[in-house]
Amino acid sequence: MNHINKIISALILLLIVMGCGDDYHHILRGAQLRSFEIESDSFNVCDISSFYSITVEVEDYENGKLLDNVTVFVSFIDITDDGNSYPTAEEQYTVIEESEFIEGPNGLPTTTFIITLAEISSALNIASYNEGDAFRIAFKINLTDGRSISSDEEFSFEYNAEIIGPSIDPDFFTGQYLMEQLSGLDPFFAAETFGDTQIVNITADGNIRSFNFLYFPGIYDADFNFSMNLSCGEILVTGTINSGGLGCGSNIGFSTGNPVSTYDQTFIDDDIITVNVTDFSPDGSCDTGGYPVELRFTKQ
């Protein structure tokens, strides 16, 4: 009879555990943090005042009465390859005290955490970030009995805020253009490395505008790619050889000029666009250094 009673008791306990779900897990861990609402889930790469906003609630087995405070940690997720490397270890950003929580719709302590792109990048000393990178916000619950509860494999208190860019009109600055070199002569032949004029076909891939053309036309006729990243109103240039080699030990290329060229962010005026380039950047180990070139693109 005792054996039967033990089996019945075990079954009843199992049913209670299965029925409790998260509540039983709370008893084992001490507390649980849930996202109640995410008002803004990303940062705008062009706007340092853009913000991430999340409302969370904390539940413990005394309905929030054990809450002491919540520690907030931030970290950087470096996804894009821009030549810069930053540490990805998390840093403590702030502590949200129990007094900053209010009673939410579920009768639990609730608070809204907001952080701007300027604030999170400054906290981590991140000077350069790109569309496609992300920041992570993590919470740790601290209870009045001395226990601290962080994420585990089943319950995550971590949230990623992706860095996004503005949407570019896919037809803007595309199609056939007349490329004219307005200024700048190379250090070897005093030649126009982009040619006096060339007709080029500009294609779009997201924010990137690119085309292939002849670099040093009539001299080397090198097959080059001209890439322009339309980023936050600026035209960021990269030029690389497609095949073969051209240089004095390594390949010559070109990069963004000074001042950085701009484009119409309303995406209406793309009839004539001027692009400043630093040619011979890199200089292909020729020890010439870079020099400025001004190009004009006229829609055909």
93 part of a folded domain:
yes
Per-residue model confidence (pLDDT) at position 1? 52
Shared domain check, 188 and 148: no
Q: Which of 189, 140, 132, 126 is nearest to 161 (CA)?
A: 132
Q: State the DSSP code for 292.
A: E
> Can you give the CATH number for the domain in which 181 is found?
2.40.128.120
6 part of a folded domain:
no
Per-residue model confidence (pLDDT) at position 189? 86
Per-residue model confidence (pLDDT) at position 11? 45
Q: How far apart are CA 109 and CA 7, in angstroms?
A: 39
129 part of a folded domain:
yes
Contact 27, 62 (CB under 8 A): no
Shared domain check, 135 and 181: no
Q: What is the pLDDT of residues 31-43, one digit of tens each?
A: 999 998 999 999 9
Per-residue model confidence (pLDDT) at position 28? 58
Mean pLDDT, the chain, whole residue set: 89
Per-residue model confidence (pLDDT) at position 26? 47
Per-residue model confidence (pLDDT) at position 215? 97
Shared domain check, 248 and 160: no
pLDDT 10s digit of each residue in the chain, 300 long? 555 544 444 444 444 444 444 444 444 568 999 998 999 999 999 999 999 999 999 999 888 899 999 999 999 998 877 666 677 789 999 999 999 999 999 999 999 999 999 999 999 999 888 888 999 999 999 999 999 999 887 778 999 999 998 889 999 999 999 999 999 999 888 889 999 999 999 999 989 999 999 999 999 999 999 999 999 999 999 999 999 999 999 999 999 999 999 999 999 999 999 999 999 999 999 999 999 999 999 999
Per-residue model confidence (pLDDT) at position 6? 47
Shared domain check, 289 and 181: yes
State which residues form the domain around 294: 175-299
Entry pTM: 0.70
157 part of a folded domain:
yes
Structure tokens at 65: 């009465």
**Range 146-153 contact pairs with CB under 8 angstroms and sequence separation of 24 or more:** 147/30, 148/71, 149/29, 149/30, 149/31, 149/32, 149/33, 152/29
Per-residue model confidence (pLDDT) at position 29? 65
151 part of a folded domain:
yes
Give the other-Cβ count within 10 Å of 59's Cβ: 21
Domain boundary among 101, 134, 164: 164
Per-residue model confidence (pLDDT) at position 84? 67
